[in-house]
């Protein structure tokens, strides 16, 4: 029997515990339910927090460069307020659609299709992530040839470009290395390969998905806040999909690493949505700091520290009450509330999102933290 607490397919942090059962009493006694040691638990949680911070920090830095890039391959995708308002609805439809698929069709074939799909995406994402690093590793004397992949439609004056992608020899080397990792994941589903793909997805998401303003960020965070709470606490849909879904859409770290080494199998998990969604908001604040042409990065660092606080609070509640938690329940008030305390440049939308977060915040779990938020409301008027 594989007894595992739910791992959100989009935005929830989970503690996973595996156990083996058998009708043989001796085998049952030999394979008693795993109980993580304090050292193993601390190592797993600490590693998850560290891994979550990497794509946010470096993805935010790369988003500044990306916003100034004129290369078509590196152009960011801008999220408007309309996109942000639709996103929770689209995510809900997608989640429920997957739930129906897993109920109607064979889980084995669906996961096989998803494995191939994420193999291709993971190889491309990891290759894009490694590309800047490889540019520094290779010596200047390395024969770096330029290539262009061009697909057009029509002829003459009516010719239209469909794909126009420029790359070089270093990109091909990155693609080769990423393909090796992809084959490793496809064949073994090893947790390290899963994390390499997961980190690449998260970093690319923070780098290439840009919010057009703070109000859009608050709409997105507020909508996904309700989405996360509803699908985790209100139904079993997300739990069912998460248990059935085999894809690198979460970061994992074994709690029994000290006992079993790299073959460990009892994981703590963090959904990529808990990294990317707050991450693109934090990256927006960094670009805003840069636009002020000052040496300080106040908004970026305050929101980055708030994210650490929110993630730590999630782990604390989960560990205390032994129940899986939707991380956005804690990350949204922290990330939106921190910059909203600064009086300049923010709109009433951030205040609405902040109040909305407090409305759904679980007072029965942590009343002292709610009291702190209420006693120190964000100041939004310009001084």
Q: Is the dihedral of CA 276, 282, 286, 288 positive or negative?
A: positive
Per residue in 248-301, pLDDT (tens digit) is 988 999 998 998 888 888 888 888 999 999 999 999 999 999 988 888 888 999
Per residue in 58-72, pLDDT (tens digit) is 999 999 988 877 665
CA-to-CA separations, 11 to 22, 103, 315, 330, in angstroms, rounded: 34, 22, 14, 11
**Greater pLDDT, 43 or 370:** 43
Cα–Cα distance for residue pair 32/15, rounded to 1 Å:
18
Residue of 83, 228, 256, 289 with catalytic role: 228
Q: How many C-alpha atoms does 170 have within 13 Å on its Cβ side? A: 17
Residue of 168, 256, 274, 289 with catalytic role: 274
Q: Of 148-162, 208-222, 368-382, which gets the smallest average pLDDT?
A: 368-382
The pLDDT of residue 369? 33
Q: At what angle do helices 273-291 and 328-340 cross, to 10 degrees?
A: 10
Contacts by 63-67 with C-beta closer than 8 Å and gap 24+?
63/206, 63/207, 63/208, 63/210, 63/283, 63/286, 63/287, 64/286, 64/287, 64/290, 66/207, 66/208, 66/210, 67/210, 67/287
228 is catalytic: yes
Q: Is the dihedral of CA 283, 289, 295, 299 positive or negative?
A: negative
Computed on alpha carbons and rounded to an integer, the radius of gyration of the chain in Å comes to 22
The pLDDT of residue 154? 81
Cα–Cα distance for residue pair 178/130, rounded to 1 Å:
9
Contact between 338 and 306 under an 8 Å Cβ cutoff? The reply is yes
Tokens 């921190």 map to which residue? 338
Query: What three-state secondary structure class fits 28?
Result: helix
Q: Residue 17: pLDDT above 80?
A: no
289 is catalytic: no
Cα–Cα distance for residue pair 275/10, rounded to 1 Å:
10
Cα–Cα distance for residue pair 62/13, rounded to 1 Å:
26
Q: Is the dihedral of CA 302, 273, 321, 53 positive or negative?
A: negative
Question: In this structure, how many other beta carbons lie within 10 angstroms of the beta carbon of residue 373?
Answer: 17
Q: Of 234-238, 291-295, 367-371, which gets the smallest average pLDDT?
A: 367-371
Cα–Cα distance for residue pair 20/2, rounded to 1 Å:
6
Structure tokens at 322: 């032994």
| CA-CA-CA-CA dihedral for 135, 140, 143, 146, to nearest 10 | 50
**Greater pLDDT, 19 or 228:** 228
């Amino acid at each position: 029997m594989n007894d595992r607490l739910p791992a959100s397919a989009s935005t929830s942090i989970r503690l996973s515990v595996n156990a083996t059962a058998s009708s043989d009493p001796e085998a049952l006694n030999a394979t008693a339910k795993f109980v993580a040691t304090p050292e193993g638990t601390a190592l797993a949680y600490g590693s998850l927090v560290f891994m979550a911070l990497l794509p946010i920090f470096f993805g935010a830095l790369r988003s500044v460069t990306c916003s100034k890039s004129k290369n078509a391959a590196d152009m960011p995708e801008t999220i408007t307020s309309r996109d942000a308002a639709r996103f929770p609805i689209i995510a809900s439809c997608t989640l429920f659609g997957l739930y129906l698929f897993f109920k109607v069709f064979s889980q084995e074939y669906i996961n096989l299709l998803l494995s191939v799909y994420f193999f291709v995406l993971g190889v491309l994402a990891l290759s894009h992530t490694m590309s800047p690093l490889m540019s520094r590793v290779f010596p200047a004397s390395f024969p770096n040839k330029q290539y262009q992949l061009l697909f057009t439609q029509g002829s003459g004056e009516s010719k239209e470009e469909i794909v126009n992608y420029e790359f070089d020899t270093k990109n091909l080397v990155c693609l080769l290395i990423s393909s090796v990792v992809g084959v490793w994941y496809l064949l073994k589903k090893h947790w390290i390969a899963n994390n390499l793909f997961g980190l690449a997805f998260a970093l690319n998401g923070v780098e290439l998905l840009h919010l057009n303003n703070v109000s859009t960020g608050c709409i997105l965070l507020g909508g996904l806040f309700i989405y996360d709470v509803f699908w985790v606490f209100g139904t079993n849909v997300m739990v069912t999909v998460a248990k059935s879904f085999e894809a690198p859409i979460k970061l994992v770290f074994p709690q029994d690493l000290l006992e079993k080494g790299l073959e460990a199998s009892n994981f703590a998990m963090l959904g990529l949505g808990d990294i990317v969604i707050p991450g693109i908001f934090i990256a927006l604040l960094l670009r805003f700091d840069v636009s002020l042409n000052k040496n300080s990065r106040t908004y970026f660092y305050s929101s980055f520290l708030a994210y650490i606080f929110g993630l730590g609070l999630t782990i604390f509640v989960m560990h205390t009450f032994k129940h899986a938690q939707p991380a956005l329940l804690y990350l949204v008030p922290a990330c939106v509330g921190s910059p909203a305390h600064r009086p300049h440049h923010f709109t009433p939308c951030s205040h609405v999102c902040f109040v909305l977060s407090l409305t759904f915040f679980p007072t029965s779990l942590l009343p002292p933290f709610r009291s702190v938020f209420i006693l120190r409301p964000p100041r939004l008027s310009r001084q």
